[in-house]
Amino acid sequence: MQLSEKIRKCLKEGQKGERHKGLRKAKGRDSDGHVKKAIHNYDAMKFFHDNGYSDWSASAAFYTLYHLLLGLLAAKGYESRNQSCTFAMVESMIEKKEISLTKEELKEIYDGDVTEELAHSDKILDIRERMQYSIQTSLEEEEYQALRQRTQQLLSKLRQEVEG
């Protein structure tokens, strides 16, 4: 499906007002709230690691960045109701040069082209899903440090985008 078609579908779904479906024009622009939530999640990522729950660090890392993507949308007057619509809208913003985030950086968070070997993917969403749904209870220290570093870099860049 073409990106523009996906966004049209998301906007149409968003008009229905159903939970977890679509994009819609935001009534309020709470981009600051998303930044605060992202920082909270980043702190949680470190807390989980330091207290023996590094498997949960992967979820916190993903949601750190996801809240900043939601903040980008909020700053542009949109509210996203699901992840696929969020990623599509951010990709559209990248293509239109409305933000400085690159497609490669977005693919650090989520890459829809990765469909096989998810267990070996280094994309942040894939790491989150692997840790969330497997019986593994900790990240290897090297993997955690790489995840923390990538998350921190993207957090800084996305935060600047949101806060202008």
149 within a domain of the structure (yes/no): yes
pLDDT of amino acid 70: 96
Over range 72-96, report the average pLDDT: 93
Give the residue-averaged pLDDT of 70-96.
93
Distances (CA, A) of 125 to 15, 26, 78: 27, 25, 22
Residue 117: pLDDT band (50, 70, 90) is low
Specify the pLDDT at position 112: 67
Q: Is residue 19 part of a domain?
A: no
The total domain count for the chain is: 1
Residue 1 resides in a domain: no
> Does 24 score more than 80 pLDDT?
yes
Asked if residue 102 lies in contact with residue 164, where contact means CB atoms within 8 angstroms, the answer is: no
User: pLDDT band for position 140 (50/70/90)?
Assistant: very high
Query: In CATH, what number is assigned to the domain containing residue 89?
Result: 1.20.120.330
| Cβ(24)–Cβ(7) below 8 Å | no
**Mean pLDDT, residues 59-79 taken together:** 95
Read off the pLDDT band of 122 (50, 70, 90). confident
Report if residue 20 sits inside a domain.
Answer: no
> Is 18 contained in some domain?
no
As a whole number, mean pLDDT of residues 118-127 equals 76
Residue 139 has pLDDT above 60, yes or no: yes
Prediction pTM value? 0.90
CB neighbours of residue 29 within 10 Å? 16
Q: Is residue 44 part of a domain?
A: yes
> Which residue segment(s) compose the domain that 65 sits in?
29-163
Q: Say yes or no to pLDDT of 118 above 60.
A: no
Taking residues 156-162, report their average pLDDT.
Answer: 96
